[in-house]
Amino acid sequence: MTRWLGVMLIAVSFVAAAGAPAFGQAKPEETKPGEAKPEEKPAEKPKTLWEENTLFAYIENSWVWNTGRASRGNHNELRFYDFEGGYTFNVGEFSIKKDPSENYPFGYGLVLTAGIPGTSNDSQKNHALGIFRGDNDQFAFRNTPNFDLQEAYGSYQIPIGSGLTLKAGKFVTLLGYEVIESPNNLNFSRSYMFAFSIPVTHVGALLSYSPLPWLSLTAGTVVGWDVARDNNSTMSYTGQIGVTPIKDLVVNLNWITGAEQLHQDGNPRTVLDWVVNYTGIKNLTLGLNVDYGWEIDEASLAASRTRSDNDASWWGWAGYVAYDWTEALRTALRLEYFQDSDGVRTLAVAAGSRVELWGVTATLQYKIWKGLVGRLEYRHDSADSKVFAIRAPGYVPTGKSQDTITLALSYSFF
């Protein structure tokens, strides 16, 4: 009996040892009845060189009605791209860009724009001095070519730390909440700060580095504000500090400083530009842009000889709220204020005289079909002095407010 009991104990021990995992060995994962084990995802295939390119192209038309008294020539004062009343073929754009990557450490960008000959269009307003624009050209640049080389640059990622990126050529400014491409903005018309406070493009070089996942740093030297051929012998300096303190919140401090006056290497012009964007609430976008700028011994003030202090300053803010009601329908509201403390940025009053501007812009956007988007926009401008509805004889401004309604249609190909 004892012998058989011993045999049974040995057998049970053998079976238990065979079915139990060895010491330090993970127990096999159990699968519930009717439940298949999750398959391991195959390693993601690296992108080809062509797949790393980003293509963007669009065309845009607009109709602008001034509901009050437009200025001579059916113009909307203190506007940028929507300066012309009536119908405008705004722009056609083609863009190809590639950022440096681990597999392909080089990058590039080329952006070409064009309009219809014989009409004012966005391309003419974006010209840099020395590229399709001469020294004597003045806004709204009707006599310049109807096409533009908006961006043309190369970049390379130097294998230092997380990657130090060098970018050189012609590129858009770091400053501002709004961008040149209308489909990428919440509103059709541009703010006062886009039009009067900051540059549009630069020619130069930038270095960018991200020492931490939530921090990015950019700094570089450029020829100046919207110039490819410098009007003096000194460079300007620009940069950005980008912070993402929490998910969906982006805060950027942008800046530019340097001499911008003709044949004058001193008297720098400086702008500090704060941009905040938050998308952490479903379907809601909140934005804020604050600018403060100044220029030492500003040229037009010095020429007027009306005061001993010729330093100029300006500042403003714009707040944005947009809500996506459906995948196709969006509404956006912009409230803004701009103070041209010495009248040198807007040129709406005599040099040395302050002008204050307020604006309310409401935009209804609807995605009609694939890349076809329609926008209906109402904008109200007001000022503390008469700067609108310029009339002959004498070309004197006669109004303190301006109201426009715009219908815009754009089609994006990519």
pLDDT at position 394, please? 82
- Reading the block at residue 293, the tokens are 């700028």
Cα–Cα distance, 129 to 201 (Å, whole number)? 10
Per-residue pLDDT at 19: 40
Listed in sequence order, the DSSP H helices in 106-185 are 122-125
Q: What residue has token string 């988007």?
A: 373
Using only C-alpha atoms, the chain has a radius of gyration, in whole angstroms, of: 29
pLDDT in tens, 300-358: 898 887 778 899 999 999 999 999 999 999 999 999 999 999 999 999 888 789 999 99
Residue 38 confidence class, pLDDT cut points 50, 70, 90? low
Task: Please list, in sequence order, all residues whose beta carbon lies within 8 angstroms of the beta carbon of residue 214, skipping any fewer than 6 positions away.
Answer: 243, 244, 245
Tokens of 107: 């990058």
Residue range 232-283, pLDDT digits in tens: 999 999 999 999 999 999 999 999 999 999 999 999 999 999 999 999 999 9
Residue 408 · residue 182 · CB < 8 Å: yes
Query: Any residues with CB less than 8 A from the CB of 127 and at least 6 apart, and which?
Result: 133, 137, 141, 144, 145, 148, 226
Query: Which domains, ranges and CATH numbers included, belong to the chain?
Result: 49-412 (2.40.160.10)
133 Cα distance to chain centroid: 23
Spatial distance between the Cα atoms of 397 and 343, rounded to a whole number of angstroms: 15
Instruction: Give 39's pLDDT tier (boundaries 50, 70, 90).
Output: low
Residue with tokens 């940069």: 239
Q: Which residue has the tokens 């960018």?
A: 208
Query: Is-contact 289 177, C-beta < 8 A?
Result: yes
- Residue with the two structure tokens 């040099």: 351
Query: Which run of H or E residues covers position 14?
Result: helix 2-19
How many Cβ atoms are within 10 Å of 26's Cβ, its own excluded?
Answer: 6
Fill in the amino acid letter for 311.
D
- What whole-number distance in Å separates Cα of residue 401 and Cα of residue 398? 9
CA distance 225 to 351: 21
CB atoms within 10 A of CB 81: 24
Q: Helices marked H in 184-306 — which ranges?
A: 192-196, 299-304
pTM, rounded to two decimals: 0.87
Cβ atoms of 207 and 165 closer than 8 Å:
yes
